[in-house]
Amino acid sequence: MKKRFTLVDYAIIILVICAIVFAFIHVTSNDDTVNEKTSYDSSTLNKIAEKYLTYYRQGYIVNTTVHGYNSTDGKPVTLSGNIKWLDDDRGSNVKALVNSNGSDYIVGLYNHVPNADVYINSMTLEMNGEKYKNLTEIKINPKNITSLNDLITGISNDTDYEITTTITTDSVESMKIQEISNILFEKDGRISIKGSNSGLTNQIIIVRAPGSELSEVNNILSNFSGITNEITIRIYNCSDNDIDNIKNNYNVTNIQKF
């Protein structure tokens, strides 16, 4: 005798079919949209650079909301905007350049960055999956240089780029390093060119420095004898002509388009 299906049987069948369809759609979906938000305070801010760099390496645009205090009058302030640059010294002295409503602000903890515009009480990292358009990162073999200009002479003036590398030189005067910090802070607060924090007095650390800052610091350092480690050039809104220009002027080892 044939078994008749009850309403319960039909309901179970429908649920199983729906579950299979949902699983198929979930697995085969091409939607790569990602939304992440993490929050940091004074006790966890030493972890923020590591997280920021995971986004940076993948080409994501990173936004932030900073709750803190105005360094001028001590009043509470909330700052929301895009992180243009962020750096630390092995987990301490975290500082970030935040563009909010068309203006740039340096943010940091009072005891680490006393000359910041805003002292951080808490700070978020916010990423919604959006990436910079036509972003390209180019790796270049180490090279011998006699000035900072040697790093950028092969890049056209209208290129929007930043450079990261470490230079070991025959000697660097500590007064020159302080002068560099003063000049860069006066410009926009971004200390993208600095001395080593590992006790090596003959190293210059370049951390995502734009060409304009490299040119300005070149006038302070003048000529020296030095060698870099691997050089990373990140180009925003990069064109094929930009890439060809770099390939013609540097010993390129890798090109990554985001």
Looking at residues 1-22, what average pLDDT do you find?
61
Q: How far apart are CA 220 and CA 43, in angstroms?
A: 37
Fold (topology level) of 36-127: SH3 type barrels. (2.30.30)
How many residues can be counted in the chain? Answer: 258
Q: pLDDT at position 24, please?
A: 45
Please give the angle made by the CA atoms of 164, 224 and 176, to the nearest 5 degrees: 75
Q: pLDDT at position 30, please?
A: 41
* Residue found by looking up tokens 């305070």 in the block: 41
Q: pLDDT at position 213, please?
A: 93
Identify the sign of the CA torsion 12, 15, 17, 19.
Answer: negative
**In the chain, where the domains are located:** 36-127, 136-257
Considering the chain, what is the average pLDDT of its residues? 87
Q: Which residue has the higher pLDDT, 172 or 132?
A: 132
Q: pLDDT at position 26, please?
A: 43
Q: pLDDT at position 89, please?
A: 75
Q: pLDDT at position 54, please?
A: 94
Buried b or exposed e, range 51-69, using 16+ CB within 10 angstroms: bbeebbeebbbbbbbbbbb
- CB-based contacts of 87, cutoff 8 Å, min separation 6: 49, 94, 95, 96, 191, 192, 207, 208
> Mind listing the pLDDT tens digit for each residue in 142-157?
999 999 999 999 898 8
> Mind listing the pLDDT tens digit for each residue in 22-52?
544 444 334 455 789 999 998 999 999 999 9
Contacts 24+ apart (CB under 8 A), 1-6: none
Q: pLDDT at position 10, please?
A: 57
Q: pLDDT at position 5, please?
A: 57
> Mind listing the pLDDT tens digit for each residue in 48-85?
999 999 999 999 999 999 999 999 999 999 999 999 99
